[in-house]
Structure 1
Amino acid sequence: DPRATHLRQLSKEMGERKGDTKWYDMTAKVEEVMKREKGLLPNVDAYSASTYYMMGIPLDLYTPIFAISRISGWTAHILEQYANNKLIRPRAEYVGPRNVPYVP
């Protein structure tokens, strides 16, 4: 997610300006471990909390901000489903391995 790159940099810069990089550092460490252990890269939400924190946004607003940023997409999906009157199905077929054991 290219947005994650920009938010990562913003989080780092804000932490450095405030003299408190612990939230950025913690998120960067989680990113490093997830990439190494699971091969997963961060999406835009990965650095949201540390950035919001540096901006002074109250914790109880993080979830509403998350939802507000997605409402237009959710609404578009609802309108599409109502217009077509059928379940929305993926346009791709999964071709990966099957019956892989769950590893927490």
Structure 2
Amino acid sequence: KNLNANVDFYSATVYYSLGIPTDLFTPIFAIARCSGWCAHVLEQLEDNRLYRPLSEYIGEPPGKKVIPIDQRP
């Protein structure tokens, strides 16, 4: 797979180097994001509207083509 590393990849390397147990990585990632999540909630409560109401996907439909059941082998 051609996956790009995000910030969690690098922070996990730092956590590992600091001797933090790997089962604590996910809670630490979540705690680090709590301020952002809270900010989003406060923004939504302040002005309850869609962020991008005019956004419209104009590309090809994602995923596999669906073959109708009666045409399947």
How many pairs are equivalent?
64
Structure with the largest fraction of helix: 1
Gaps of 5+ in 1: 1-33
Shift in Å at residue 99 of structure 1?
3.9
Are 1:51 and 2:20 counterparts? no
Ranges of 4+ aligned residues in structure 1 off by more than 3 Å: 88-93
Identity, % of aligned positions: 52
Tell me which of 36, 39, 63 is aligned to 1:73: 36
Match of 2:69 in 1: none
Larger Rg: 2
Shift in Å at residue 89 of structure 1?
3.5
- SS at 1:45 equivalent: helix
Aligned equivalents of 2:62 and 2:28: distance in 1? 37
- Does the C-alpha gap of structure 1 residues 53 and 99 become closer, same or farther in structure 2, counting only changes over 3 Å? closer
For normalisation by structure 2, the TM-score amounts to 0.63
- Which structure would you say has the larger RCO, counting Cα contacts within 8 Å and 6 or more residues apart? 1
Residue type of the partner of 2:6? N
Tell me which of 5, 17, 24 is aligned to 1:61: 24
- SS at 1:70 equivalent: helix
Gaps of 5+ in 2: 65-73
Aligned equivalents of 1:90 and 1:45: distance in 2? 27
Aligned equivalents of 2:27 and 2:45: distance in 1? 25
